[in-house]
Amino acid sequence: MTNLHLRRLIATAVFLAVSLVLRITVSGYLPLFGANGVRVGIHGVFTIMPAILFGPWYGAVASGLGDFLGHYVRPSGAWLWQITVISTVGGFMRGWAWRLLRARSPVVTRGVVVVMTLVFLGFGAISMVQLRQDGITRQFYDNVVDPAAIDTLGMSSIGRLVINRTQNTSNPANNLSGRIAEVAYAPLVAGVFGVVLLGVDMFLSKGLQKEKVSKTDKPVSIMPLALTIIIISLMISTANSIVLWAVAVPAWRTFPFVYIWLPRVFIALLTSVANVFIAVFLLRVCDRLPHVKKIANL
């Protein structure tokens, strides 16, 4: 092992230790349908930093050990190896995504986010309008005697899709709520996520530009960092939600998956935004520490 790798491992261990301390002291769970819904805290950013500073493998080690050791320092139910694997893969993906995005032009990354935000908001809004025109609400099946006999020819494309995917199921009314959330609420949440992301980038980047943190004449943008942290965190939250819904919490299987996913991913979004602010601060601190700067990819 080279001296560089050893120093990076030591720094990773320090970040991991801070994360575990914060996990014990200032984190907790929000309840969801009678079970622990989602953990809330700022400890996660300290397992994210090794991926940003040192690369994918260090991120994988920090995130994987953070989940494994975190379970034993503050247990909250049975240990799930699937969650630890997801955390490990997520840590690797953060380091990989950061390497991929940091070299991209701020104009390009912002443009992609703007376009995707408009697409999601537009699709969600159109879906809601079409469902309302077709009279499709969560109470749609309350007065329907035979769901299989519903004529969907006069409905909009979205309404037809939703009804066709629910009318022949064992519980059409329950499944309808999930399908409405999928085609209307989920895209709107994704669009709101894009708006939040653009707002965070504008706020933090403007502040950094005024402070002249950048050593070049190029515009300062924290969009690559925000995308790295937020998108990967939402992917991890989605994968964890699948495991919890399908394996760990039997009571949750009585609800459509989207009912579990939406609140968890919303909390993950808020936590990720907070992590972006903290990560920007930590990167500025690391940039001013010669010993850290020598071993980091800054």
What integer pLDDT is reported at residue 238 of this predicted model?
Answer: 93
- Over residues 79-109, the pLDDT tens digits come to 889 999 999 999 999 999 999 888 777 778 8
Kindly report each contact of residues 133-136 with a partner whose C-beta sits within 8 Å and lies 24 or more positions away, as own/partner.
133/159, 134/158, 134/159, 136/162, 136/163, 136/176, 136/180
Q: Which residues pair with 31 in a beta bridge?
A: 36
Q: What is the DSSP letter of 2?
A: -
Q: Which residues make beta-bridge pairs with 32? A: 35
The pTM score is: 0.80
245-252: which pairs have CB atoms within 8 A and are 24 or more residues apart?
Answer: 247/80, 247/82, 248/77, 248/78, 248/80, 249/35, 251/33, 251/34, 251/35, 252/32, 252/33, 252/35
* Per-residue model confidence (pLDDT) at position 31: 82
The answer to whether the CB of 200 falls within 8 A of the CB of 276 is yes
What averages of pLDDT result for each successive group of 10 residues across the chain (298 residues)? 86 94 87 80 93 94 93 78 95 94 82 92 94 89 82 88 86 84 87 86 71 49 86 93 87 82 87 90 85 78
Q: What is the per-residue pLDDT for 215?
A: 47
Question: Going by C-beta distance under 8 Å and a sequence separation of 6 or more, which residues neighbour residue 200?
Answer: 222, 226, 273, 276, 277
Res 219: pLDDT: 52
pLDDT at 217: 44
What pLDDT is attached to residue 220? 57
* Contact (CB, 8 A) for 267 and 278: no
Confidence (pLDDT) at 241: 92
